[in-house]
Every structure is written in C-alpha cells, then in structure tokens.
Amino acid sequence: MPTPKPPPVLLTSDQSPTRQQPSPKNSPSKSKSKSKSASLSKWFRSVFKSFPIINPTCRMPISLHGNRFNDNHIHGGKRMTGTLFGTRKSRVNLVIQENPKCLPTLVLELSIPTEKLLQDMGSGLVRIALECEKNSSDKKTKLTDEPIWTMYCNGRKTGYGVKREPTDDDLNVVQTLHAVSMGAGVLPSETVMGSPSPDGELTYMRAYFDRVVGSKDSETYYMMNPDGNSGPELSIFFVRI
C-alpha cells in the first residue's frame, strides 16, 4: 500500500518565505571592490594598449624581459630605465635609473597631474621640453643637475620641472618595482608610504628610455614603444639656452 503524501503547506498573508542571506564571497563590498579593480585595469589597457599590466598586489612583481623590448633602439642612444608615478590627482614624478636595480640618477617633479599626462599619452605622442638659462658663473654644472626648469608640454607652457634628491617614498617605489622592466599599473599607497593616502592608489608606468646627448647643453630621453613597430610615445628634451 503506497505511503500517503503530506498535505501542502499554505502560507497566510502575514507569512513570507525566509530570504536567503548572501554568502560572504558575494557580499556587496567585495563585489564593488572587484568591479573597481576591473574598471581600473580596463582603463590602463585603453591608455597603454602595448604595455603589460602588472599585478600591483605582488610585492616582488614578475620580471618582464624579452627580445622584442630590445629591438626598438635609437642608434647612439644609451638605454635607461624610466618610471613615471604619482597619485592620479598629484604631480607626476619621473625617476631615471641606469637599470631597474640601480639607485636613481635623476628625479624630477613635473608640473602636470599624473592622470592628465597618462591620458595625453594614451591619445597621442607627448613632447615635454624642459628649458633653463645658462649660468655664466658656473659652466661646470651638468645639464641634468640644474635645479629648476621651465616646462612645456606639446608646445604649451605648463609650469616648472624641479630636480630633487630621491625621498624615501621614491626609493620605496623603485625598490618595489625593481624586478619590473616594463609595465603599468597601480600600487597601494600603504605599500609605498606606509599608510593609506587620501589621494588614493599610486599610479605608475615603467619603460625603457633611450638617452641621446646632443651637447653639454642639450640631451633627450625617448620612451620607446615596447611593440617595436613605432617611434617614441614620450620624449623629454633638456635644453640650456
């Protein structure tokens, strides 16, 4: 004889099924964080289509070495490592090194917001000219040892470039990126400065630069495109007049 089925349960008007609580892995805060990270990665890829995006959560990023990065080279130029970095609203900093593992040979603070410079580079070629006057009383000063420069970006005066000694934050940036040859991404501000910054994460871009010396009063740094099929995306001219 078959077992009788239990009668169906009817819900009254003041009863409702229990709403299932979201699991921790699908919580709104983590979903929002994942969405923000994806949007930021998409923004970087649109700005630097040929640059690899480095995972910023890794204290020791992977090394990016490859023959294709060494093919695009200006004859007579000296290969250097250049790093542009700063929070998106702050002024961009430029650090030049002999190679990623050396101490900086040049640190400049440029009077253009980091976000603006990266956007300009994503939309076309950028030319930065840094000019200073000759000082007749001191003819032995190296060109890149001049303390202050008038800055022009694509022919438009944008303020000044200031040379300074590397700070602890500068050294933390190059130390964190010492294994990276080329790449772009973001670093948590607490990784560099020891505490969260009100200006948000630190944006960086690292690339090879070819240094070409014209004379004791002129030299140029050409940031080479890593795909090897086109010329420099960024050129920085130092001129003493």
DSSP category for residue 53: B
pLDDT score, position 36: 53
Q: Do 206 and 94 form a contact (C-beta atoms < 8 A)?
A: no
* pLDDT value of residue 75: 67
Distance CA 71, CA 91 (A): 32
Query: pLDDT tens-digit profile of 29-82?
Result: 555 555 555 555 555 555 555 555 444 433 333 333 333 334 556 767 899 999
DSSP 83-96: EEEEETTSEEEEEE
What is the rounded distance in angstroms from the CA atom of residue 233 to the CA atom of residue 209? 10
The segments of the chain whose pLDDT lies below 70 read: 1-73, 75, 136-138, 194, 226-232
Q: Give the pLDDT of residue 124.
A: 83
pTM for the predicted model, two decimal places: 0.70
User: Could you give the 3-state DSSP secondary structure of residue 221?
Assistant: strand
Write out pLDDT tens, residues 186-202: 988 777 776 777 777 88
Q: Where are the domains of the chain?
A: 79-240
The predicted pLDDT at position 121 comes to: 87
